[in-house]
């Protein structure tokens, strides 16, 4: 590749101190290894990517931007939220209360309960993984129920099993 002829290995090593993310670091290291004589095919095997990806990593250095900027991806905003900011805040406040206080027959928030609540309250449909993400973004964390001692009474064991079936775990404030 002709355009890497403009850079020395030292020039490619200098920005390594200033990049913090994994991908930009990989891209710079791949460029350095390429300058040191490794082929694109060898680099692709080394990094576990397609040869075309290595080509793209090296090609992006052919720019007027600094090397530090050239190896970093542009910001991607992602998909627009299904709920407004106001609805999102209302949701976050709601999940910090118990589901019983909000009118659900459940002792703890679960992704499926959040899914149902969002559909009923705002008329939006979310997948279960998205509901988990929303709970996490609301500042909750998943706590798996702990097993009780084997010596506990049969009634307590049955109560535990019922609670486990009902909640599947708890999302609690962090």
Asked if residues 143 and 172 have their Cβ atoms less than 8 Å apart, the reply is yes
In a domain, 75, yes or no: no
pTM of the model: 0.48
- How many other C-beta atoms lie within 10 A of the C-beta of residue 126? 19
Answer yes or no: do 93 and 162 share one domain: yes
- Give the whole-angstrom CA distance, residue 56 versus residue 51: 9
* Res. 50 pLDDT band, cuts 50 70 90: very high
- Give the whole-angstrom CA distance, residue 131 versus residue 112: 8
User: How many CA atoms lie within 13 Å of 5's alpha carbon, on the beta-carbon side?
Assistant: 3
Answer yes or no: do 163 and 111 share one domain: yes
* Res. 162 pLDDT band, cuts 50 70 90: confident
pLDDT score at 165: 67
Among candidate residues 70, 95, 120, the one where a domain is terminated: 70
In the predicted structure, residue 35 carries a pLDDT above the cut 60: yes
In the predicted structure, residue 142 carries a pLDDT above the cut 90: no
Average pLDDT (136-151) is: 74
Asked if residues 17 and 48 have their Cβ atoms less than 8 Å apart, the reply is no
User: Structure tokens of 43?
Assistant: 């680099």
* Res. 126 pLDDT band, cuts 50 70 90: very high
Domain of residue 63: give its range: 2-70
In the predicted structure, residue 79 carries a pLDDT above the cut 80: yes
Asked if residues 148 and 158 have their Cβ atoms less than 8 Å apart, the reply is no
pLDDT score at 3: 61
Answer yes or no: do 100 and 61 share one domain: no
Asked if residues 11 and 71 have their Cβ atoms less than 8 Å apart, the reply is no
Angle between helices 40-47 and 51-59 (to 10 degrees): 110
Number of domains in the chain: 2
pLDDT score at 13: 85
Average pLDDT (122-134) is: 93
Average pLDDT, the chain: 84
* Res. 15 pLDDT band, cuts 50 70 90: confident
Asked if residues 21 and 72 have their Cβ atoms less than 8 Å apart, the reply is yes
In a domain, 80, yes or no: no
pLDDT score at 153: 73
In the predicted structure, residue 68 carries a pLDDT above the cut 90: no
Answer yes or no: do 11 and 63 share one domain: yes
- Give the whole-angstrom CA distance, residue 40 versus residue 45: 9
In a domain, 48, yes or no: yes
In a domain, 77, yes or no: no
Best CA proximity match to 26, nearest among 37, 12, 36: 12
């Amino acid at each position: 590749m002709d355009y890497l002829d403009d850079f020395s290995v030292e020039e490619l090593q200098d920005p390594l101190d200033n990049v913090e993310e994994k991908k930009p670091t990989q891209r710079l290291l791949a460029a350095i290894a390429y300058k040191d004589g490794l082929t694109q095919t060898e680099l692709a095997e080394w990094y576990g990517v397609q040869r075309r990806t290595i080509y793209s990593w090296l090609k992006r250095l052919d720019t007027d931007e600094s090397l530090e900027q050239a190896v970093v991806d542009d910001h991607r905003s992602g998909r627009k939220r299904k709920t407004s900011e106001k609805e999102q805040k209302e949701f976050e406040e709601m999940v910090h209360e118990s589901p019983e206080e909000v009118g659900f027959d459940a002792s703890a928030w679960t992704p499926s309960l959040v899914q149902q609540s969002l559909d009923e309250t705002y008329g939006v449909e979310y997948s279960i993984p998205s509901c988990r993400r929303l709970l996490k973004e609301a500042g909750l964390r998943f706590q798996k129920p702990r097993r009780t001692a084997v010596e506990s009474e049969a009634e307590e064991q049955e109560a535990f099993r019922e609670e486990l079936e009902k909640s599947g775990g708890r999302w609690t404030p962090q």
